[in-house]
């Protein structure tokens, strides 16, 4: 999921302060401010964030945030990327953990500034530091050129995700993209994206 409006020109002369926050360090107040930001950036599904900000039943591993101070001393979220760990399963049953970027968004009024580019770099640097080989995301077709400029690639084959009932769902409305974080090439052929817990469930069902 990615915001509908992105920058097309970048002014990197004044970098924004970026925060990389583990999920267990996000308190109730910050969680509420993040959900308010997501509701504004994704107006087609505001109800989704009324009570939580979890996609496909799995919380983020970490979140990249940018916050702006207000005159009263409080702050509000102007940039957000959640990073969820997913397991890629190939047709050869090879499995790799990948960093899945979700909720990539910049508040209106802060776009066209290079903020999204800074956040993406921060999120991917942290994923690489944590040992992940690949990053994946899904975006609307108009955003594909933006991501391609950042080194992302459209997948050559189909990508399947799994819902909360452990049933496969093909991603038709969004474009699946990937980025290699090391020299190891992205797996060829159709790819399944699971929650790590779902892979474990499938294994237990076979036993």
CATH of the domain at 182: 3.40.630.30
Pairing of strands 19-22, 62-69: antiparallel
pTM above 0.85, yes or no: no
Asked, for residue 7, whether it belongs to a domain, the answer is: no
Higher per-residue pLDDT: 203 or 17: 17
Contact 31/17 with Cβ under 8 angstroms? no
Which neighbouring-strand residues pair with 15?
A: none
Q: What is the pLDDT of residue 58?
A: 80
Answer whether residue 199 shows pLDDT above 60: no
Domain limits for position 191: 19-206
Asked, for residue 61, whether it belongs to a domain, the answer is: yes
Domain count, the chain: 1
Answer whether residue 174 shows pLDDT above 90: no
Asked, for residue 11, whether it belongs to a domain, the answer is: no
DSSP reduced 3-state for 131: coil
pLDDT bin (cut points 50, 70, 90) of residue 7 is very low
């Amino acid at each position: 999921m990615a915001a509908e409006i992105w920058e097309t020109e970048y002014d990197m002369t004044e970098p924004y302060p970026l925060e990389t926050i583990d999920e267990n360090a996000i308190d109730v107040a910050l969680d509420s401010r993040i959900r308010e930001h997501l509701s504004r950036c994704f107006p087609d599904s505001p109800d989704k964030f009324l009570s939580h900000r979890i996609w496909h039943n799995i919380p983020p591993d970490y979140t990249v945030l940018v916050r702006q101070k207000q005159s009263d001393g409080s702050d509000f979220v102007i940039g957000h990327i959640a990073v969820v760990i997913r397991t890629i399963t190939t047709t050869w049953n090879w499995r790799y953990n990948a960093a899945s970027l979700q909720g990539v968004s910049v508040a209106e009024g802060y776009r066209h500034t290079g903020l999204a580019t800074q956040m993406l770099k921060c999120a991917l640097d942290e994923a690489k530091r944590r040992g992940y080989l690949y990053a994946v995301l899904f975006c609307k077709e108009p955003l594909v050129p933006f991501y391609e400029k950042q080194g992302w690639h459209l997948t050559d084959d189909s990508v399947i995700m799994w819902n909360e009932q452990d049933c496969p769902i093909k991603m038709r409305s969004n474009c699946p993209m990937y980025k290699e974080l090391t020299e190891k090439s992205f797996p060829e052929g159709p790819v399944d994206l699971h929650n790590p817990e779902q892979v474990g469930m499938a294994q237990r069902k076979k036993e």
